[in-house]
């Protein structure tokens, strides 16, 4: 399964693509950031985010797009831009025919570090370890996007394995089917 994670932001929108096949370790495919100029008109910044996410979706053709669910912050202007960027990510995915999954920051922190109170540094360190990378992903928005993709892979584990099983068994013989089902049950 291929997941494109989006950590929405108006100035920096983190994007990461992670693949994980049944029984295999997750693999980082690509990571980056869509940046906008803070002095540009707001509508142009949103358009730039839309173009950037569209390019990523077209290039990497994910099975699902995982987007961070916005949460209330003290700075209303920051949360408004984040919500708008998240909406654009969901719209781009829907227009391209991909499903969207929303995960809260607390869900991501808990899935990646085991604690819903982890900070960005801890998330970055765990992403580094999980994917066995040589160096931490920078900026933190990029690491957060990859963490979102990993969270979706893990939180939807049973559903993802079932979908992969169905895809693998469309043309399988009865004996092959029994072996595949036995393999899923043992996990």
Task: For residues 110 and 172, state if they share a domain.
Answer: no
Q: Give CA–CA dist 38/46, Å, rounded.
A: 11
Closest CA to 53 of 69, 40, 36: 36
pLDDT for 32 beyond 60:
yes
Closest CA to 7 of 157, 152, 171: 152
Task: For residues 143 and 91, state if they share a domain.
Answer: yes
> Domain limits at 181?
158-187
CATH code of residue 116: 3.30.420.10
Q: Give CA–CA dist 56/34, Å, rounded.
A: 10
Number of independent structural domains in the chain: 2
Q: How confident is the model over 122-128, as a mean pLDDT?
A: 95
pLDDT value, residue 158: 45
Task: For residues 184 and 103, state if they share a domain.
Answer: no
Task: For residues 136 and 173, state if they share a domain.
Answer: no
Task: For residues 184 and 127, state if they share a domain.
Answer: no
- 54-109 pLDDT per residue, tens: 999 999 999 999 999 987 666 777 788 999 999 999 999 999 999 999 999 999 99
* 3-state percent breakdown (helix, strand, coil) of the chain, nearest 5: 55, 20, 30
- 132-176 pLDDT per residue, tens: 999 999 999 999 999 999 999 998 654 555 555 555 555 556 666
Task: For residues 121 and 185, state if they share a domain.
Answer: no
Task: For residues 29 and 113, state if they share a domain.
Answer: yes
Query: Torsions phi, psi of 14, nearest 5?
Result: -75, 140
Active site residues: 7, 68, 141
Q: Give CA–CA dist 113/116, Å, rounded.
A: 8
Q: pTM of this prediction?
A: 0.82
Between 178 and 77, name the one with better pLDDT. Answer: 77
Kindly tell me the burial class for residue 143, based on how many C-beta atoms sit within 10 Å of its own C-beta (0-12, 13-18, 19 or more).
buried
């Amino acid at each position: 399964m291929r997941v494109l994670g989006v950590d929405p932001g108006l100035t920096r929108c983190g994007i990461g693509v992670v693949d994980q096949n049944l029984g295999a370790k997750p693999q980082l495919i690509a990571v980056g950031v869509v940046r906008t100029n803070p002095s540009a008109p707001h509508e142009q910044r949103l358009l730039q985010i839309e173009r950037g996410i569209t390019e990523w979706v077209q290039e990497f053709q994910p099975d699902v797009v995982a987007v961070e669910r916005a949460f209330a912050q003290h700075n209303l202007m920051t949360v408004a831009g984040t919500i708008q960027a998240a909406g654009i990510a969901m719209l781009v995915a829907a227009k391209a025919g991909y499903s969207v999954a929303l995960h809260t920051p607390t869900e991501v922190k808990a899935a990646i570090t085991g604690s819903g109170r982890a900070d960005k540094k801890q998330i970055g360190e765990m992403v580094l370890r999980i994917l066995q990378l040589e160096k931490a992903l920078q900026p933190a928005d990029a690491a957060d996007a990859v963490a979102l993709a990993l969270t979706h892979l893990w939180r939807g584990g049973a559903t993802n394995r079932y979908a992969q099983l169905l895809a693998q068994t469309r043309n399988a013989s009865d004996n092959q089917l029994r072996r595949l089902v036995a393999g899923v049950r043992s996990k």
